[in-house]
A and B are shown apart, each in its own frame.
Chain A
């Protein structure tokens, strides 16, 4: 059965610079803009579909990146990842604003796309070209209308402690959805975080309760690649977001379930294909030869 594709919700460039930058935008392949209120007409006259974006009422998203805190003693050598997936899950239906630091605009676009959120991304001028290439790539791969897949249901109490737990669950690829009540379709439901709990320890307890064997997705070969998964059991899409600056070589992915076919679309790696594809022990495994900022893998049985 062919995948049904939704109207694609692409992230937009938030551009508050003068209109004499229009040529730079065209050169970067930027076709659509979010602009401060009152400037829409100026840009439309130059041929840009422009929409007013009220950044003050949008949820602020962090510039996606990795921080290698080498001078800080820690329990593990895992770098800190600034990612927004948990935030998107927590505030569905909201618009998000990124003030993207240099080199992060393309990844921000991919992140927002992966989670299907409306996002305006303020990019540095030097990031226009990669941002434009990413948006073009996102438009090409489309967005199949598949439900989000998760192992864990989270009844969010809105607390700061829960925010950190959500962040850590996402950070460790423990796929979750915020749910209003306990839902038996999840392998595990969590409803509150003890006040005195260490969020990291709590997240690790969740992992142990769930068990790695039941996890929908496992990632081997990087600790800065985060995953979003959609699917219906017969088809699935994995969004793989690489928050590190370096291309990841030989990333191994394990997906629970047997999918006979897999297709890779990797940003900036045209023609790349999945390697060492196999189905074993009720799971499907494959290797992504090179992962830049973003890739999607479409699986079907």
Chain B
């Protein structure tokens, strides 16, 4: 692991927009984030979980990783007990996948299928399981249906980009970031109206604006409309917007598990992955209920890889490394935006989890 991230950078010199959060949902007695395992994570590595040449995951290895990871997180010896701590047979579970980098990287269908299998093992019916994403075209490109039992829903909020009919008009964050007319970002309606629990399945990715994209980014930008407005020119408001969105009820209370799929990773050019040379293979999965703690580990995974590739750090804010015209897509020493990896620490300040590395308890497992 790298040395502690430069936390001082995270808090200074940031203009925090004025946010107005509108939601009539009350928080749960114990919100899912940071949940019962605040400041904890299980980190499971398996050398055989993916074939680097074909990028084909190994389902048996993934099953073993998930079993060991969930047991390490919870302390249970039977994986069904581990899942039953978080989900009951009566729950309707949304599984928030990430498909923005498909087909290069996405929440692997093998990983998602294993999550579904575990949820069904504790009694959740297939019809009560919803694989979901914001954009239909991205979701369709992954073909989850080929890996899942009959009856599991596969659903996207925007079957046409920009459509808002699947968002809740009464649950939103209102803020003006860059003079935009539409100042609202609305929560996906199903999060409030149907899901009782959410399992978040991000990847291990670099992100051109946020520094990295993991649990917080996937649960925040992946559940709200109209979020691309947070970037303009070389500036981005991801520093505070990500955490603010993730903390909105009922999203915060209902997101009970983080399963970070790091079979593959993207060390530059994320969240997309058109260029295979920027993919790498951590062969690792992280489990937790605390999205901040898991993302804090992710920060070092991505930045360590960047260092190993002699690329500039995700923390680099120098204007000399900013470039336009697509250079950032091919050159890891060019950034499109002044990045905001401090968004993770900011989210900790909102009560979403533990950021300080020395306060995070990691259960490491080798499969």
Interface residue? A90 (CB, 8 A): no
**A76–B184 contact, CB under 8 A?**
no
**B164–A76 contact, CB under 8 A?**
no
Choose among A73, A223, A249, A285 the residue that contacts B180 (Cβ–Cβ < 8 A).
A223
In chain B, positions 160-186 with a C-beta closer than 8 Å to chain A are 160, 162-167, 169-170, 176, 178-184, 186
**A250–B160 contact, CB under 8 A?**
no
Interface residue? A172 (CB, 8 A): yes
Choose among B162, B169, B176, B228 the residue that contacts A222 (Cβ–Cβ < 8 A).
B162
Interface residue? A276 (CB, 8 A): yes
Per the bound structure, the CA–CA distance linking A276 and B164 in Å amounts to 13
User: Interface readout for A218-236 with B: 1 if CB under 8 Å, 0 if not?
Assistant: 1111110000000000000
Given A249-B160, A250-B163, CB of A76 within 8 Å of CB of B169: no
Per the bound structure, the CA–CA distance linking A173 and B183 in Å amounts to 13
Least CB separation from A201: chain B residue: B179
Per the bound structure, the CA–CA distance linking A174 and B362 in Å amounts to 53
Per the bound structure, the CA–CA distance linking A75 and B165 in Å amounts to 28
Least CB separation from A277: chain B residue: B169
Least CB separation from B180: chain A residue: A76
Given A75-B178, A75-B232, A76-B178, CB of A221 within 8 Å of CB of B324: no
Chain B interface residue count, CB cutoff 8 Å, equals 25
Least CB separation from B165: chain A residue: A250
Given A251-B164, A252-B164, A252-B169, CB of A221 within 8 Å of CB of B181: no
Given A75-B232, A76-B179, CB of A276 within 8 Å of CB of B170: yes
Choose among A73, A246, A249 the residue that contacts B165 (Cβ–Cβ < 8 A).
A249
Interface residue? B233 (CB, 8 A): yes
Chain B CB count within 10 A is highest, among A221, A251, A278, A287, for A221
Interface residue? A212 (CB, 8 A): yes
**Chain A contact patch, size range:** 20 to 34
Per the bound structure, the CA–CA distance linking A199 and B257 in Å amounts to 49
Please indicate the chain A residues that have their CB under 8 angstroms from the CB of B178 in the complex: 75-76
Choose among B167, B228, B232, B233 the residue that contacts A250 (Cβ–Cβ < 8 A).
B167
Chain A CB count within 10 A is highest, among B169, B226, B229, for B169
In chain A, positions 233-271 with a C-beta closer than 8 Å to chain B are 246, 248-252
The 26 sampled A-B contact pairs (Cβ below 8 Å) are A73-B324, A75-B233, A76-B232, A78-B181, A212-B183, A219-B182, A220-B183, A220-B184, A220-B186, A221-B162, A221-B182, A222-B182, A223-B180, A223-B181, A223-B182, A248-B162, A248-B163, A249-B162, A249-B163, A250-B164, A250-B165, A250-B169, A251-B164, A278-B170, A285-B169, A287-B164
Q: Beyond A204-B179, A220-B184, A222-B162: 12 further Cβ-contacts under 8 Å?
A: A75-B232, A172-B181, A218-B183, A221-B164, A221-B182, A221-B225, A223-B180, A248-B162, A250-B169, A252-B164, A287-B165, A289-B165
